Amino acid sequence: MTGIAKGAEELALMEAAKRVLPGGGFGNFANDIIIRSGQGGHVTDVSGNDYIDYLLGSGPMFIGHNNPAVTEAVMAQIPLGTTFFTNNEPGIHLAEAIVDAMPCVEQVRFLTSGTEADFYAMRLARAFRGKPKIVKFEGGYHGMSDWGLMSLAPKRLANFPDAVPDSPGIPDAVRNEVLVAPFNDIEAAVRLIEAHQDEIGGVIMEPLQRLIPPKPGFLQAVRDVTARLGIPLIFDEVVTGFRFAYGGAQEYYGVTPDICTMGKIVGGGFALSAIGGRADIMAMFDKAAVGEERFMTQIGTLSGNPVAAVAGLATLEVLREPGTYEKVFAMGRELMDGLTTLIAEAGIPAQCLGEPVLFDVVYAAGDMRDYRAMLRQDAAMQKHVNTVMRSRGILKGDSKFYLSTAHTAADIAQTLEAFRAAMQSMPASRKVA
């Protein structure tokens, strides 16, 4: 496929979106595409164009769109009721499955979005420890709360540990309660945590920070210092949970936090997220266990929604099938290796960064160890490549390939051909001399 034609219906919907939606969209992705359906590892737009889908709804559709097991489970639940605001059987069974899967989890509390999960996890750590500050790592994404939007993508670089708000509307007081460290710098992280130990409520981090893998020993060093000082360590596994391994990134990297957050895959494509952790910490949600003064209220209209819970249960059942992770990792490695070969052939200063189930091509040379190193990448080059690939039927995010169990060898081959075309279209000035 070369060239994507837009039909009258899709163009009319785009015009309607401009009238009724700020910026013409939902705030998530480019507004020049309107998806009508998805099947397996592909999606189709309103104009009938088919795309190999590496966006995957920003990650939840790890076993593909319209997986029969998930669809069957959802269709069976809907006649029984779609939400109750009470305990329900599917939600309890999903909590049991999460406890069985995730090394750090003894109890679970459900929410609706990753932002909620991260927000409540930070509050939970502060409440348990009785201290006001959160440590995060520059460039780490922890949702859209005021605390999450500190030094995610700062427009100006500050001296550590000063936090920089990423959005207007965030009170200055919040900035004073967030301490920021550089990712992958063991000495700096340990020194900061030790220096502020008497005021830190918790430390939150992505085990894989966006695309940046942890350097050997980094996660363990943060785990060791927080354990020694009695500071709760939170792994934000909204993205990595059930993706890197059935037990998440904590299983994959072999480092166990005190608390983790989950979303995306665990809801099977429906609105569901969760916090899980040690029972003594999770007891903060139980008034009978901790008393009136320490009790931390958390209420959500759709928390533990039964439709989302059955979708999550069905997804986890698929992921437990023998060979599932081995297959998707092998396919991801094949794509990464193919892209790396094409980059070398083209003489482009670029590299694949991430893990086989979640990575992208970063258009820069050298060690991409943290947020500041990632600022060296050529954003214009990436935009050009993504545009060429979209014109050849490859849909991906601005800076991510999400692999799914539904992608096929033919999908990988078509993706590599599209990337080859993008490399060939690159001007000579972009190539290494």
Active site residue 236: yes
Which residues, listed in sequence order, are joined to residue 354 by a DSSP beta bridge? Answer: 359
Residue 410 has phi, psi (to 5 degrees) of -65, -35
Residues, the chain: 433
Q: What is the Cα–Cα distance from 115 to 26, expressed in whole angstroms?
A: 16
Active site residue 198: no
CB distance 337 to 124 below 8 Å: no
Q: What is the Cα–Cα distance from 254 to 166, expressed in whole angstroms?
A: 32
Q: What is the Cα–Cα distance from 240 to 265, expressed in whole angstroms?
A: 9
Q: Give 213's DSSP letter.
A: P
| Six token digits for residue 94 | 């999903």
| Six token digits for residue 112 | 């609706």
| Six token digits for residue 276 | 């899980």
Helices (H) and strands (E) in the chain, counts: 15, 14
CB distance 403 to 331 below 8 Å: yes
Q: What is the Cα–Cα distance from 411 to 396, expressed in whole angstroms?
A: 13
CB distance 238 to 207 below 8 Å: no
Rounded to 10 degrees, the C-alpha dihedral 244/245/248/250 comes to: -90
The catalytically annotated residue of 45, 118, 146, 236 is 236
Q: What is the Cα–Cα distance from 168 to 163, expressed in whole angstroms?
A: 14
The catalytically annotated residue of 51, 141, 253, 325 is 141
CB distance 42 to 53 below 8 Å: yes
Residue 136, judged by CB atoms within 10 A of its CB (0-12, 13-18, 19+), counts as buried
Q: What is the Cα–Cα distance from 34 to 47, expressed in whole angstroms?
A: 8
Q: What is the Cα–Cα distance from 429 to 433, expressed in whole angstroms?
A: 9
Encoded amino acid at 167, one letter: S
- Residues serving a catalytic function are 141, 236, 264
